[in-house]
Amino acid sequence: MELQSIKNRFGIIGNSPALNHALNVAVQVAATDLTVLINGESGVGKEVFSQIIHALSARKHNPFIAVNCGAIPEGTIDSELFGHEKGSFTGAVDARKGYFETVNGGTIFLDEIGEMPLGTQARLLRVLETGEFIRVGSSKVQKTDVRVIAATNKELLEYTHTNKFREDLYYRLNTVPIRVPALRDRKEDIPLLFRKFSVDFAERYKTVPVQLDDDARQLLVSYPFPGNVRELKNIAEQISVLSVNKTITARDLAPFLPERSFNRLPVLAHAASPASNGAEFANEREILYKLFFDMKKDVTELKKMFLEVLQHGGSTPASVPGNFFSETTLSDARHHPDRPHPAALAPASAQPMILGNNDIQEHVEVEESLNILDKEKELIIKALKKHKGKRRDAALDLGISERTLYRKLKEYDIEDL
């Protein structure tokens, strides 16, 4: 069967090489009874791959059931999967068949297999090895012919190293692995998916579908989508409902793309790297706060030091050479009059200017604004002017993503420079 017809049948959008490879593996393994382990982040559509495998197999006319192992309590999962006898535990008023018994001849999709308790893993391993199982509270061995497809968003091999997952079960499940790519690894498919979701929404509610302009499309593609396809669908539907304009600009789109860290400040320039793709540190607010407070403390101490020199020595440096005089040196000079004043050791070009008492009385301290938001806005404006309004270059210089820069421009009402 052609790959495109499979995509049309199961509603799969995209043409990225990683996605096509995963689909090809699913098609090839479908005709067998081999166990399949589907790996992928939450929201990439792992269950669709299990449905493809079942629908293209010889078992397609037999039952298919999807079981979320993480949603079943540990105390009842054995009963759900393998059944139980009457009176086997409190509340077992009747005998009950488990999924491996009711789906005999069909396919079981075990989602989030990494959440399965170790005791249940041992029972599952026996089913995979021998096709045998025992109901809870029974001693009778029963046979079943069920194909198992498992899925996980965890690294099960790492789980085996910490005894959270049985190593023998891992290798038994991993007969044929399929890795479903994350949405950020198939960026070329993001505009196609967005268009599909917006058109579907418009058809459902009899409205005009929204469209993205070039800048908005670029901004959408640059977003990492930790929630993958599920998150993209939510964003498309939110924009379809809440956006006034049907042609979405980057500024319109930015508020719908949530920040991944709880901050309002750009990343320090040295913190960004090509490998990080503009990722932001969660603690950057604390870093900048500390930086500004340290600066304020240093400025205050420096002013205090110069005032002391003026009051005791009647002079102050007119210009400050490379290094400031330390408080210890100045203190030593005051307590040891026979030693030369530190200012006397400065070059001739940096000799102090003598001020009278009137000058001291007229001295006024001017506190520089240390408001975080003011500084942030000032940095953004400087970066835009430096790069002549090129937002991508300005964002790179600031160490933030282009998406964050768009949001900041709108937040501070900064017009294009």
pLDDT of residue 322: 45
pLDDT of residue 40: 95
Contact 339, 332 (CB under 8 A): yes
Residue 341 has pLDDT above 90, yes or no: no
pLDDT of residue 113: 96
Contact 55, 78 (CB under 8 A): no
Distance of CA 77 to the CA centre of its chain: 31
Q: Using one digit for the tens of pLDDT, what is the confidence trace for 224-269?
A: 999 999 999 999 999 999 988 899 999 999 999 987 543 434 444 3
Highest mean pLDDT among 156-165, 269-278, 350-359: 156-165
Give residue 353's identity as a one-letter amino acid code: M
Q: What is the DSSP string of 374-411?
A: HHHHHHHHHHHHHTTT-HHHHHHHHTS-HHHHHHHHHH
pLDDT band at 37 (very low <50, low <70, confident <90, very high): very high
pLDDT band at 342 (very low <50, low <70, confident <90, very high): very low
Structural tokens at position 19: 């996605």
Structural tokens at position 260: 């991944």
Alpha helices for 174-278 (secondary structure H): 190-205, 214-222, 228-242, 250-253
Q: Average per-residue pLDDT in the chain?
A: 81
Kindly report the pTM of this predicted structure.
0.63
pLDDT of residue 117: 95
pLDDT band at 75 (very low <50, low <70, confident <90, very high): confident
Q: Using one digit for the tens of pLDDT, what is the confidence trace for 197-230?
A: 999 999 999 999 999 999 999 999 999 999 999 9
Alpha-carbon span 37 to 12, nearest angstrom: 20
pLDDT band at 99 (very low <50, low <70, confident <90, very high): very high
Residue 417 has pLDDT above 90, yes or no: no
Residue 346 has pLDDT above 50, yes or no: no
Structural tokens at position 55: 């629908």
pLDDT of residue 328: 44
Q: Using one digit for the tens of pLDDT, what is the confidence trace for 264-309?
A: 344 443 444 444 444 444 445 555 656 666 677 777 777 777 777 7
pLDDT above 70 covers what percent of the chain? 76
